[in-house]
Amino acid sequence: MKNTAIKEITAKKIVIVGGVAGGMSAAARARRLSEQSEIIVFERTAHVSYANCGLPYYLGGEIKSQAKLLVATPQDLKDKFNLDIRVKHEVIAINKEAKTVTVRDIAAGRDYQESYDDLILSVGAAALRPDIPGIDGPGRFVLRTIEDVANIENWIEQQKPSTAVIAGGGFIGLEMAEQLTKRGMAVTLVDNKEQVLSPIDIEMAALVHSELKTHGVKLLLGKPIVGFSQPEKYQAQEGSKPKSCWVHAGNEAPVAADLVILGMGVRAETTLAKQAGLTIGERGGIRVDSKLQSSAANIWAVGDAIEVLNPISQNWTLIALGGPANRQGRLVAENILGAKKTYQGTIGTAILRIFDITVATVGLNQNQLINSGRAFEALHLHPTNHASYYPGATRLDIKVLFDPASGQLLGAQIVGQDGVDKRIDVFATAIKAGMTMRDLAELELAYAPPFGSAKDPINLTGMAATNILDGLISQVQWQEIGLLKDIESCIVDVRTDGERERGYIPGSKHIPLQKLRQRYHELPKDRMIITYCQSGQRSYNAARFLQQHGYTVKNLSGGYLTWHAAESLNSEKANNLVQTLPCLSQSDCSAGAKK
């Protein structure tokens, strides 16, 4: 019953509102299935089927021609698919009883009715413009459409901006931070949260912060924008060329910006749906059933405008991504034409390049798991992308979250230079397939030294998690280090002298792994031992050795690399925390605290 194919196709009159990702996918699929159907697409902008995901790269100059963004013109679509594409036509009302829509022909300035058998809403999302004083002034742009791009391009040509503020550290904000930096602008990124990229956890975001700073992007995090003001007010004190505006964030001094990109999030476009009385979910998107039908018969909805069920949490959520929109469009076309296919939900597989690194995520992050009350174990690894002896190996920073009872993979995040994309796709496939960490340990993945390792990072993640599931090792997380009570634990650094010289967790005792067999008796048996190395792998060996000599041991997940990344977020706070670290006041441990 789940994915019943089409048995018999009856031609229909299908009206689609929105002619980009989900809408055009639905239109093309419907035509391939039914030559006899009448298919009309209404799009209120001047363009359909354009690559909105490519817009930042066009603005940055990586995509040279705007024409490249236009995947197909209305004429192409007429010629190829016999689609009736009506651009600059906005659907302003739905009459679900009469099964008609009211359409505004923007160019002609007239309204008319169009009937439908089935109506698909693929109306996308609208960029948020919060009610902040001055947000609508000149030089402040959102980025969603070709028209937005043209406006930003014109501004850049006229104003020749040398400074830019990106308001919001989400995917689009970060892509624009990269692209405007590459165009030579001094970029400041402002976000009211303490981290960029809220789909990933903060210690992973710390790696992104570091990359942004390395490339000159100034970060103002944890600072809500409270206003935009015009230059006159500040020009005297600035005494330099007029700026388009000043951005006021938190209590910080105002930041000059010749150009502002507003990447402050999106909201599902529900104007039409609300007017038609369709059910809107608690997350603010159009509520659909498992076939992607709205609360009204013969009205379907896809893409950024709908709420989707996350199959891991079973919670309704809003996920604005191109892949799901395209697949949903295809599925709805099939269901309209007689299939009974069920949408399997969206797990939020996403990827992003930021200068020299790639960041990717899938599934639930730690905050989402905490909020949904689901038990989880977090595991951090730092393997190389391919065999470390082969030239050019670089580090992958991997975090996975899994169910501590069943081992089911719940989420994964990766930051690295190379090989991030293929690993995140394996994790995404594993989540869709309901695989466990034990399954990941067993995956047979392609290996030759330039591409991977005999134990691929995916296998290593599965193996490390299996050790936890099998009770061979337990972990502490970087957040817990500062909270450990001094009578309870002793932190042991098993790295080399050279690694120790470059930094260590204050209060930790240093016994290199190679010397542990001779020196382990220096460690107190009445306290919990926390082992750490650079990545967590050597300290796992140390932990296993100590356990077998009667110690109670936990291994620091992700080792010094993860701890240090997180610590860099707030070194002042971390310094305070490490003052309370256990070993400082205990002689048998503090003896080794220096080195």
- Residues annotated catalytic, as ranges: 53
Q: Which residue has the tokens 């206003």?
A: 227
23 is a site residue for ligand FAD (CB under 6 A)? yes
Contacts of residues 278-287 at CB distance under 8 Å and 24 or more positions apart, as own/partner, are 281/307, 281/316, 282/316, 283/307, 283/316, 283/317, 283/318, 284/318, 285/316, 285/318, 286/121, 287/316
CB atoms within 10 A of CB 515: 12
Q: Closer CB to ligand FAD, residue 349 or residue 590?
A: 349
Number of helices and strands (H, E) in the chain?
20, 32
Considering only residues 192 to 231 of the shown chain, the ones binding ligand FAD according to CB under 6 A are none
43 is a site residue for ligand FAD (CB under 6 A)? yes
152 is a site residue for ligand FAD (CB under 6 A)? no
Q: Closer CB to ligand FAD, residue 54 or residue 227?
A: 54
Alpha-carbon distance of 106 to 147, in angstroms, equals 15
HSE-up (13 A, CA, CB side) for residue 388:
7
Q: Closer CB to ligand FAD, residue 20 or residue 523?
A: 20
Q: Closer CB to ligand FAD, residue 274 or residue 517?
A: 274
Q: Closer CB to ligand FAD, residue 73 or residue 537?
A: 73
- DSSP assignment string, 326-367: HHHHHHHHHHHTT-EEPP------EEEEETTEEEEEEE--HH
Alpha-carbon distance of 205 to 199, in angstroms, equals 9
411 is a site residue for ligand FAD (CB under 6 A)? no
CB atoms within 10 A of CB 294: 24
47-to-24, 42, 43, 70, 514 alpha-carbon distances in Å: 12, 10, 7, 8, 65
Alpha carbon dihedral 558, 561, 563, 568, in 10-degree steps, equals -150
HSE-up (13 A, CA, CB side) for residue 455:
8
Q: Which of 42, 58, 141, 155 binds ligand FAD (CB under 6 A)?
A: 42
Q: Which of 231, 323, 506, 524 binds ligand FAD (CB under 6 A)?
A: 323
Q: Could you tell me which stretch among 53-61, 229-237, 496-504, 573-581 binds ligand FAD (CB under 6 A)?
A: 53-61
Least separation in angstroms between residue 349's CB and ligand FAD is 8
Q: Could you tell me which stretch among 27-35, 40-48, 471-479, 581-589 binds ligand FAD (CB under 6 A)?
A: 40-48
45 is a site residue for ligand FAD (CB under 6 A)? yes
- Shortest CA distance to 52 belongs to which of 30, 23, 26? 23
- Shortest CA distance to 159 belongs to which of 179, 178, 141? 141
H/E stretch holding 578 reads: helix 571-579
Is the separation of the CB atoms in 293 and 300 below 8 Å? yes
Q: Closer CB to ligand FAD, residue 40 or residue 325?
A: 325
H/E stretch holding 368 reads: helix 366-371
Q: Closer CB to ligand FAD, residue 289 or residue 488?
A: 289
Q: Looking at the DSSP assignment, which residues form a beta bridge with residue 103? A: 91, 112
Backbone angles phi, psi at 340, to 5 degrees: -130, 60
Least separation in angstroms between residue 361's CB and ligand FAD is 12
Give the three-class secondary structure for 128. Answer: coil
Backbone angles phi, psi at 230, to 5 degrees: -85, 160
Q: Closer CB to ligand FAD, residue 153 or residue 252?
A: 153
Q: Which of 31, 44, 99, 341 binds ligand FAD (CB under 6 A)?
A: 44
Alpha-carbon distance of 362 to 345, in angstroms, equals 13
Least separation in angstroms between residue 580's CB and ligand FAD is 43
Residue 55 amino acid letter: L
Considering only residues 118 to 137 of the shown chain, the ones binding ligand FAD according to CB under 6 A are 122-124
304 is a site residue for ligand FAD (CB under 6 A)? yes
Q: Closer CB to ligand FAD, residue 56 or residue 536?
A: 56
Q: Closer CB to ligand FAD, residue 258 or residue 269?
A: 269
Question: Which segments within 364-449 are labelled E, that is strand?
Answer: 377-381, 396-402, 409-416
Q: Looking at the DSSP assignment, which residues form a beta bridge with residue 219? A: 189
Least separation in angstroms between residue 28's CB and ligand FAD is 13
144 is a site residue for ligand FAD (CB under 6 A)? yes
Q: Which of 12, 15, 16, 22 binds ligand FAD (CB under 6 A)?
A: 22
Q: Looking at the DSSP assignment, which residues form a beta bridge with residue 553? A: 529
Least separation in angstroms between residue 322's CB and ligand FAD is 3
Rounded to a whole number of angstroms, the distance between the first and last alpha carbons of the chain is 65
Considering only residues 542 to 561 of the shown chain, the ones binding ligand FAD according to CB under 6 A are none
Alpha-carbon distance of 227 to 341, in angstroms, equals 48
18 is a site residue for ligand FAD (CB under 6 A)? yes
Q: Which of 30, 143, 359, 420 binds ligand FAD (CB under 6 A)?
A: 143
Number of residues that bind ligand FAD (CB under 6 A): 32
407 is a site residue for ligand FAD (CB under 6 A)? no
Least separation in angstroms between residue 306's CB and ligand FAD is 8
Per-position x/- string for 89-108, each x denoting binding to ligand FAD as judged by CB under 6 A, each - no binding: -xx-----------------
- Shortest CA distance to 568 belongs to which of 255, 195, 249, 188? 195
Q: Which of 9, 33, 53, 577 binds ligand FAD (CB under 6 A)?
A: 53
Give the three-class secondary structure for 507. Answer: coil
Considering only residues 224 to 283 of the shown chain, the ones binding ligand FAD according to CB under 6 A are 269, 272
Q: Could you tell me which stretch among 21-29, 278-286, 423-431, 465-473 binds ligand FAD (CB under 6 A)?
A: 21-29
Least separation in angstroms between residue 329's CB and ligand FAD is 7
- Closest-by-Cβ residue to ligand FAD is 303
Q: Closer CB to ligand FAD, residue 325 or residue 561?
A: 325
168 is a site residue for ligand FAD (CB under 6 A)? no
Least separation in angstroms between residue 236's CB and ligand FAD is 37
Is the separation of the CB atoms in 205 and 175 below 8 Å? no
320 is a site residue for ligand FAD (CB under 6 A)? yes
Least separation in angstroms between residue 326's CB and ligand FAD is 8
Q: Give residues with Cβ within 8 angstroms of 166, minimum separation 6.
A: 173, 174, 176, 177, 180, 187, 188, 189, 190, 260, 261, 263
Q: Which of 34, 37, 52, 557 binds ligand FAD (CB under 6 A)?
A: 52
Considering only residues 481 to 510 of the shown chain, the ones binding ligand FAD according to CB under 6 A are none
Alpha-carbon distance of 21 to 303, in angstroms, equals 8
Contact positions toward ligand FAD, by CB under 6 A? Answer: 17-18, 20-23, 42-45, 52-53, 55-56, 90-91, 122-124, 143-144, 172, 269, 272, 303-305, 320-323, 325
